[in-house]
Amino acid sequence: MVYEKKTGVPKFESFEYSGKTKDYVVLIPIINEGERIRKELERAQKTNVSSFADIVICDGGSTDGCTEESLLRSLDVNTLLVKQDTGKQGAQLRMGIWWALERGYKGVVTIDGNNKDSIEDVPRFIDKLKEGYDFIQGSRYIKGGHAENTPVIRDLAIRIIHAPVISLTAHQKFTDTTSAFRAYSRKYLTDERVQPLRDIFVTYELLAYLSVRATQLGMKACEIPVTRAYPKGEKAPTKISFFKGNSNLLKILFRNARGVYNPD
């Protein structure tokens, strides 16, 4: 089914392999992740993640065959959403969040599709949503978390710049603020003071914004330990270029701190 573009939501097509079966959904934004998303979904299948949440792929227009229907069906994917519009990760997430809210899910878990995060921990995010938390951030840096082969520059940038600025903006300490492995309650996503479905969120703006808005509004937020592992001896899988990508992240970080993304 094709959903035409509307304010805050890009045009996209949905391929629903099954109806809604759970109260919670895992949204996985990808583009040309190849074997990485296959391995991630195999890990999810091995640990029965689909018995806790519906798994939905939010594709940005992959051309490498990683979204082939028989493959996704065999790996317990509930639905494939394919963006047919402009925008990058932020647009993919807006597409997924809108669709998830329309389908009636109580909460959303997001995770990158490059097989770096411990998708096995999805049930722990859902437990926190059920406990009444509105924003749950996965962290490799807190007790019980594990960071494997994190590039030194990235590690320092998170610890020295990104996490401190996000924490100051959010009025609550967070330690792993660039990670997309997190969860949001329906209450948070539908609050009129939040409004995540806005065209201003194109790349990584939405992640930064949703990291701070919950606690600014007095909602419950926490971190839980997860594992984030980079492949040893290989180029780190990332869509962020060293100079331009990191420069844009810093711009977003400080615009967010100034409240630029807050609704009028």
Q: Would the pLDDT of 159 be above 90?
A: yes
- Three-state DSSP state, 82: strand
Residue with tokens 């996490």: 163
Q: Average pLDDT, stretch 184-207?
A: 98
CA separation for the pair 185, 134 (Å, rounded): 5
pTM of the model: 0.94
Edge-to-edge strand ranges of the sheet holding 77-83: 2-3, 12-16, 77-83, 54-59, 24-30, 107-110, 182-185, 135-139, 221-225
Residue-wise pLDDT for 212-240, tens only, equals 999 999 999 999 999 999 998 766 555 54
Rounded to an integer, what is the distance from CA 92 to the centroid of its chain?
10
Sequence ranges of the domains in the chain: 11-257
Q: What integer pLDDT is reported at residue 247 of this predicted model?
A: 85
What's the CATH fold of domain 11-257? Answer: Spore Coat Polysaccharide Biosynthesis Protein SpsA; Chain A (3.90.550)
Other CB atoms within 10 Å distance of the CB of residue 73: 14
